[in-house]
Structure 1
Amino acid sequence: MRILHTSDWHLGRTLHGVDLFDHHRAFLDHLVELVREREVDVVVVAGDVYDRAVPAVPVVSLLSEALGRLSDLATVVVTPGNHDSAVRLGFAAELLRPGLHILASIDRLAEPVVVDDDAGPVAFYGLPYLDPDTVRARLAPRDELGGEAEALARSHEAVMGAALDRVRADLTSRPGTRSVVVAHAFVQGGAASESERDIRVGGVDLVPSAVFAGVDYVALGHLHGAQKVGSGHPTIRYSGSPLAFSFGERGHVKSSALVDLDASGEVTVELIPTPVPRRLAEVRGDLAELLDGRYDEVHDAWLRVIVTDPVHPEQLFARVVERFPHALAVIHEPTGVVVAHERRAVTPEADPIEVAADFVDYATGGAATEAEIAVLRSAYESARATEASA
């Protein structure tokens, strides 16, 4: 069976204020042609289809059109990620056209979409993003009498492990069936980039790869770099995002994973590069160096420009953009200036709790206590939950 694994489309996202709508449309056109040309049987989309829980109307129309075109050619299985609203994405899932499946229900995650080929059935299990605070009671196993059980531990490992226990229990009733799990999580060993949204709960966001034992292929979403994690069986892969969403991804080769699953459950993977609308690059130097022509080769790229003059040059942004019309970020990092030891940059990948604890240290003259860190973590997770439900 031939499977096309993709994820993290983030429809509706911008890059430093640049609307990526047309670039997303070009990617989806590419995806449809790829499915047609390579005779794909099943397309799986492992979460973060949208960039926000309530997407704009044109973005919804773009997704609707794309899923319609894809499902004319292959079976399509979609699961929600942490950016999507599972309720909104899964609305009317039972009324969708044949061949299009949006698997957004926590209570039905052990009910697979079964697709047959010449070698027999393949069961596709869709695991929507599992927020521990939301699902740890619902996924807790029942006691021997079928009564309410104690909630699972407050961790991604606990809820993902419970979900896979349900998947394996269903698989035992399907002898000879090959299996694919479509999930959205941060699996241990994966390399993150600066554009993924933080999903830490209790300070932990990792899921061990061992929880996926017993299946043949794990199609992951969440991390934006295409990569394999774990070793041996099963094959566990991130397809990565189709577009770069931060300058930290400028070295990524964006792709989709073309997966061939043979009769024995063995997997071979071919990475198919996706269209690059405009490459990302970074240049660094004093303003004279930046403007003297040595960086002509990146003139047409989206740029992050780091200017190192000791004194902030006059009309810095205007002069840089006149030379590099696609510069998206212009940053002044002076060299030869003494910087106070306690100062450090707060980057997108910084742990928000560590940043807040640093402020407590700065404001009070002493390190944050464990109790203070617990309060900071609780406040941060509450704010993140409110944002996600907006």
Structure 2
Amino acid sequence: MSRTLHTSDWHVGHTLYGHPREEDFDAVLAEIADVAREYRPDLIIHSGDLFHSSRLTAADLLRAMGALHELADVAPTVVVAGNHDSPGYLKFLNLVSGPSRGKGLFFVDRLRPAREGGVLSFDACGGEQRIRLAAMPFVHPNRFWRSSSTSGMTPADYAEGMRGLQAELVEALREGYDPSRDVLLFTSHVYVTGATRSASERAVHEAFEFPAEDLPDVSYVALGHIHRPQIVPGIEFPARYAGSPLPMDFGEATDSKSVVIVDADPGRQAKALPRPLSSGRRLAYFPGTLDELRAQASQYDGTFLKADITGEEPGTLLTREVAEIVPNAILVGPVRAREETADAVLDEAPGDEPDLPDAFRAYLTREGMSNAAAEPTVSAFTQLLNEIDDETPSPTPAEEQLRIALSDTWTETS
């Protein structure tokens, strides 16, 4: 039986409201390496968003590569690009890694044809089995922009384009398939219909989604992009989001973080089970009075703490008082007293914040802009959010019309 370890969405370099998280990353990445050494997989898959930003620091690069080198010493390790990753950096990392690094460390920076790294093969179980992996990094919706369109690209265009790209990879994956030996896997960094976002993740993921039923029926589908670990619902074969190993915001504070251990035999569906992770400081939310906080102070040692204090004059800054009560916590943001009302923030999930487009729409409304006038601005803002991590933003309709006009200019005849 072959074994695969699936991890994803490390987001190395992420800070929490400006607070560095180096020790949290060091702890959880060391824990993932320990899990790999314990379970001894034949293959390790990282399904994207290795880094939090496409602009890396030397410390982020060293931290991520140090962890990946530990994994590659255990088993061949494949990293596909997520929407936060720089394809250029990952291409460079692949050039300096490859099969010579430990048992193999491979970076799939962009969607590649099968024979150029889109489909990879690895011996498993001492050569008795072979794992074949089709790798589909994040594909930006701009790829499916149609130059003939003046209304932009629709979610249906995106889904159709993704189906075509995936079909090419899966056809190559199945080429020469030996049902007595081969275990077929597929990995992609994509938002799949029905996946549950954490409260801190932007709803713009859902603007371009891929139907779950269109995922390939293979032994296991290893997905990245969504931070909450979960099974993809509504399909008969195992497909999972491994999720992020650390909570990225308070909207993920209650998520159970994990990696996935996948056991499979040729011609059979895999058995995929999460293996919980426990490293990294906890994100904690406290609603209540200062006296209640004093009574519970030990619970918040070593946490990132967001506190809402009641029973004080609304608007009063209480950061110093709270810091004295919980000196070993890292306070996230200034602590202010708030009014205790029936519809106060306590009735919301801790850390819930409006999606950025909704917050921007509310801001425009407060500034006196009508709903009719605000919507085009909010639409443009949402498009920018979709493109913020892409190196080649799509043309606007006006730009496309100008390009067409300039390519067919009128000339005066004599």
TM-score (normalizing by structure 2): 0.79
**Deviation per residue, 1:18-73 (Å, 9 max, x gap):** 32112212222222222222111111001110110011101111222222222122
Corresponding position of 1:223? 226
Q: Could you tell me whether the CA contact under 8 Å between 1:47 and 1:78 is conserved in 2? A: yes
Distance verdict in 2 for CA 1:248–1:351, change over 3 Å: closer
| Aligned residue identity for 1:108 | P
Distance verdict in 2 for CA 1:94–1:159, change over 3 Å: farther
Following superposition, the deviation at residue 232 of structure 1 comes to 4.0
Following superposition, the deviation at residue 102 of structure 1 comes to 0.7
Q: What is the alpha-carbon distance in structure 2 between the residues aligned to residue 271 and residue 249 of structure 1? A: 17
Corresponding position of 2:339? 335
Q: What is the alpha-carbon distance in structure 2 between the residues aligned to residue 94 and residue 336 of structure 1? A: 58
Correspondence 1:116 to 2:123: yes
1:202-241 to 2 correspondences below 5 Å: 204-241=207-244
Equivalent of 1:185, from 181, 190, 198?
190
Q: Could you tell me whether the CA contact under 8 Å between 2:314 and 2:336 is conserved in 1? A: yes
1:291-370 to 2 correspondences below 5 Å: 291=294, 293-309=295-311, 311-312=313-314, 315-325=317-327, 326-329=329-332, 330-332=334-336, 334-335=338-339, 349-364=353-368, 366-368=370-372
Correspondence 1:286 to 2:294: no
Corresponding position of 2:144? 136
Q: Unpaired runs of 5+ in structure 1?
A: 141-147
**Deviation per residue, 1:133-184 (Å, 9 max, x gap):** 1x226xx9xxxxxxx9999954343343222211222134232343211111
Correspondence 1:169 to 2:179: no
Q: Unpaired runs of 5+ in structure 2?
A: 393-414
**Deviation per residue, 1:346-365 (Å, 9 max, x gap):** x8753333333334444447
Q: Could you tell me whether the CA contact under 8 Å between 1:164 and 1:211 is conserved in 2? A: no
Q: What is the alpha-carbon distance in structure 1 between the residues aligned to residue 387 and residue 289 of structure 2? A: 43
Distance verdict in 2 for CA 1:386–1:273, change over 3 Å: closer
Q: What is the alpha-carbon distance in structure 2 between the residues aligned to residue 318 and residue 121 of structure 1? A: 60
Q: What is the alpha-carbon distance in structure 1 between the residues aligned to residue 173 and residue 274 of structure 2? A: 28
| Bigger fraction of residues in helix | 2
Q: Could you tell me whether the CA contact under 8 Å between 1:103 and 1:109 is conserved in 2? A: no
| Aligned residue identity for 1:114 | S
Q: Secondary structure at the match of 1:18?
A: coil
Corresponding position of 2:36? 35
Corresponding position of 1:5? 6
Q: Could you tell me whether the CA contact under 8 Å between 1:282 and 1:304 is conserved in 2? A: yes
Corresponding position of 2:90? 89
Corresponding position of 1:144? none
TM-score (normalizing by structure 1): 0.84
Corresponding position of 2:111? 106
Following superposition, the deviation at residue 197 of structure 1 comes to 5.2
Corresponding position of 1:250? 253
Q: How many residues align?
A: 371
Q: What is the alpha-carbon distance in structure 2 between the residues aligned to residue 277 and residue 52 of structure 1? A: 20
Distance verdict in 2 for CA 1:16–1:153, change over 3 Å: closer
Q: What is the alpha-carbon distance in structure 2 between the residues aligned to residue 149 and residue 53 of structure 1? A: 31
Q: Which runs of 4+ in 1 moved over 6 A?
A: 148-152, 337-340
Q: What is the alpha-carbon distance in structure 1 between the residues aligned to residue 355 and residue 8 of structure 2? A: 25
Q: Could you tell me whether the CA contact under 8 Å between 1:300 and 1:324 is conserved in 2? A: no
1:38-57 to 2 correspondences below 5 Å: 38-57=39-58
Q: CA RMSD in A?
A: 3.2
Identity %: 25
